Every structure is written in C-alpha cells, then in structure tokens.
Structure 1
Amino acid sequence: MSQTLLEQSLGQLACDIPGATRIFHNFKLDFCCGGHKSLREAALGKDLDPLLIADALETLQDTGETQHDWRTETSEALIAHLLTRYHARHREQLPELIRLARRVEQVHGARSTCPNGLADLLSDMQQELEGHMLKEEQVLFPMLQQGIGPQAAPPIQVLRFEHDQHGEALEQMLALTHHITPPADACNTWRALYRGLLEFKDDLMQHIHLENNVLFINALNPHH
C-alpha cells in the first residue's frame, strides 16, 4: 500500500489524505510549490526515508479523519473561499507582522539570534503578494468564473512562477528565524511575531496548495 503512496504527488496526497499537510510540515516537505513531485522524489531530495513518511500517511488514512475536498466543489466556491480565507487574511497579517518585526529588530538587533532583515523581507513579500493577488482577482478569477479555464493557461503559468517565488521567500524567512524558533529568553513581542509568522507560513502554503493543486488543475482539465 505505502508503495503506491510513494509514486503519488505531494499535491495529490495533500488533497486525498486529511492531515497529510501536517506531516509534510513536520518533515519540511513543500507540498504547495513542489506539489508536482512524487513523495519518493521529494523525500529523497531532502535525504528523508520515503517509506517512513508513507507509513505516517497510511496511519492517518486509517484514522478515518475527513477534510473538505475542494476538488469536488465548483471553481466559484473555491474562489470565494480563497478570497475570504487567504487573500483577505494575508492583507491583515502582513502589516502587523512587519510592525512586530521592526520592533524586534530595533530592540534586539545586536543579538546573534535576532532575525535582522526580516521586516524588509516581509515588506517585499507584502508587495509581491499584493500584486499577485490583484492579478488573480482582476484577471484569472473572472476568467474562471466565466468558464474559460483552458484559455487561462498563460496567466496560470505566470501565477505558478510567482508562487515559486513566494516559496523561495518563505525559505528565506525560515532561514532568518531558525525555522521560526524564538530563543529561550525571547520577549513577548518576539514570541508574538513568531506565532504570527507560523500562522502566516501555514496559511500561505495552504493557499498556494489550493491554487496550484486544485484550482489551476481543474481549470486546465475541466472534464477530469
């Protein structure tokens, strides 16, 4: 059984198995931008044992947990969910995270554990994401709502490329923050910042996953 899981893509597994994304987060596997890779390929790329992860996924399958399967929904319903749950949410998250990061850098900048450069990285991400979300809201989503998914291939290609860039920015964020782990004696502001960063990272990965592995795929293969 776990043999067959090894050949499935991370994106498909994330859709198929409730809770799979938690396991991917634990093993630091990128199921959103790297969602096209097979589990075997992704695990070996990180020097992990693919069977270990497949076993963990199998155990999850047996628990019978359920999750909302967006693949069976209309693109209208998925787009409405993306707009309220992710687009609006990122617009709330980032200004506050940038403010907290600036404070931490001002107060603790001299410490080796301080994530110097984080506020600037987050401001860049805010700008990139805003431009990206506007393209989706003004170009792609209206095309899909008019039912012309297959003609959306060119914008989808651009948006996938930008998703990869967001993924690279997340990697930089993780590198700057020791995988979002505050030092033992971190102040409350620092802890609040890192709590917010964890939530933002999980949200952004889930957001990109739903677009890359559900919305875009359904748009380009309307009858699958």
Structure 2
Amino acid sequence: MTTSTQSLLQTSLGEIATQLAGATRVFRQYKLDFCCGGGISLEEALQRKQLDAEPVLKQLEALKDESPEQDWTTRPIPELVNYIYNHFHLVHREQLPELRRMARRVETVHGDKSDCPLGLADQLEILENELESHMQKEESILFPMLQQGAGAHAGGPIQVMMHEHNDHGEALQRLVELTNDMTPPADACNTWRALYLGLDQLRNDLMEHIHLENNVLFRRALAA
C-alpha cells in the first residue's frame, strides 16, 4: 500500500469529500455516509460496511487526474449560499410532494403485496415538514448572517442546523429500510419504479446538500 492510499484511509470521509473533487460520487456508489457520518475515517467506514478497500481507493486515486469540479472551499460564501438555495432548497420543495403522491398511489394499489413500502408516504410527509421548517430557518436567520459575513457569531444557529441534519440522516435511513434500499421488486409497476428512482435521487441530493453545509459552508463561516 502506498503512502498516498494509507493517508486516504486515515482521512475522514468529510475531509476527503471536501478536498477531492468527485469523491462524493464514489461514496454514494458504495453507500458511505459522507455527510452526517463524515467524521469517521475512510478505513473505519469501509470496515463497518465490510467493504474491500482496494476498489474504493483505486477510484479515489483516479479522481486526482480528472478535471477539477467547482471548488466550494475557495468560492465566496454568499455564492455558496445561493448555490445551496437554488440547487437543493428549491429542488427538495419540488421533489418531496411528488414523491409523497407516488408513494400514496403505490400503497393504495399494491398495499396487499408483501414488498409494498407501507408507511412510506407518511415518512415522506414527516421528512417534508421537517425539512421545510429547517430550510425556512436557514433562509430567514442563518443564511442572511453568513451572507453578511457574520459567520463567526453564528455558532448557535449552526449547531442547531447540524443537529437537524442528523435527524434528516436518520429519516433517510428509515426510507432505505422501507424500500429495500430503494430497490423495486421485479414485477413493480412504472409508478413504483419511478418512485424509487426519485427517492434515490432525493437521497443523493440531500446527502450532497448536508455535506456542503456541514463540511464546507459551516466550517468556513465559523473560521472566518
């Protein structure tokens, strides 16, 4: 094992996701939690999932030769806040009502099947309400503070937001458990398949959202 790969293993998921463009794609592929669980090392995360380190390390090392993505660790904080609002807050507000509608449809039509995700629509409604409350607090209190350069005084609101992010991570896990990791049965109808495809996109978007706030925006704001 090279010094580089050994160093990667000892680095936290959150740090890798922040420092290595494209790493979040790899982490999503292997279902490694780089947002709420971003504080543990890559090595520990792989051990918990009982994953072979070699293919993961190989993909991460290959990213170093790719064209760089947007580096949010250096862009102005107001620009990052606007990006999060436009690419995640507005998107979640479109995603969740439609997913909830499809979940109700699937439960109504296929509720007699053993693999039907009964209770999914209710869980999505809970997540939608909690996430809407969370985003409104960010938009009305925290984001204006950060855009005005008052991040060093935003420790209290940031701690509250990070705690709520943990709740969102737990909500995502409940969705995973209800849907067999968002894998539709072989005989699933088109609505069922579209529902799980949309849920997987929601998972990816929400994890990226939380990562950018926890590991980039909040850290930079507090250090300013």
Equivalent position amino acid for 1:11 in 2: G
CA deviation after TM superposition for structure 1 residue 144, in Å: 0.8
CA deviation after TM superposition for structure 1 residue 15, in Å: 2.3
1:116 is matched with which residue? 118
Q: CA–CA distance in 1 between the matches of 2:43 and 2:124?
A: 32
* Alignment of structure 1 residues 88-103 onto 2, 5 Å: 88-103=90-105
Provide the TM-score with structure 1 as the length reference. 0.95
Query: Which of 26, 29, 48 lines up with 2:51 in the alignment?
Result: 48
1:143 is matched with which residue? 145
Q: Deviations over 1:43-85 (max 9, x none)?
A: 22222234542232112323x2321111111110001011111
Equivalent position amino acid for 2:205 in 1: D
**1:3 and 2:41 aligned:** no
2:34 is matched with which residue? 31
CA deviation after TM superposition for structure 1 residue 98, in Å: 0.3
Q: CA–CA distance in 1 between the matches of 2:79 and 2:10?
A: 30
CA deviation after TM superposition for structure 1 residue 140, in Å: 0.7
Consecutive unaligned residues of structure 2, counting only runs of 5 or more, are none
Equivalent position amino acid for 2:92 in 1: H
Query: Which of 207, 210, 213 lines up with 1:208 in the alignment?
Result: 210
CA deviation after TM superposition for structure 1 residue 210, in Å: 0.4
Q: CA–CA distance in 2 between the matches of 1:203 and 1:28?
A: 13
Q: Deviations over 1:2-58 (max 9, x none)?
A: 011112221121122232112111221100111122211222222223454223211
Q: Point out 4+ residue stretches in structure 1 off by more than 6 angstroms.
A: none
2:15 is matched with which residue? 12
For these two proteins, the number of residue pairs brought into alignment is 221
User: Contact 1:160–1:212 at 8 Å: present in 2 too?
Assistant: yes
User: Contact 1:10–1:31 at 8 Å: present in 2 too?
Assistant: yes
User: Contact 1:6–1:51 at 8 Å: present in 2 too?
Assistant: no
* Alignment of structure 1 residues 72-221 onto 2, 5 Å: 72-221=74-223
CA deviation after TM superposition for structure 1 residue 94, in Å: 0.6
Equivalent position amino acid for 1:124 in 2: I
Alignment RMSD: 1.2
Which has the higher mean CA deviation after the structures are superposed, 19-28 or 185-194? 19-28
**SS state of the match for residue 216, structure 2?**
helix
Q: CA–CA distance in 1 between the matches of 2:69 and 2:101?
A: 34
Q: 1:65 to 1:113 in 2, by over 3 A?
A: farther
Equivalent position amino acid for 2:193 in 1: R
Q: CA–CA distance in 1 between the matches of 2:64 and 2:179?
A: 33
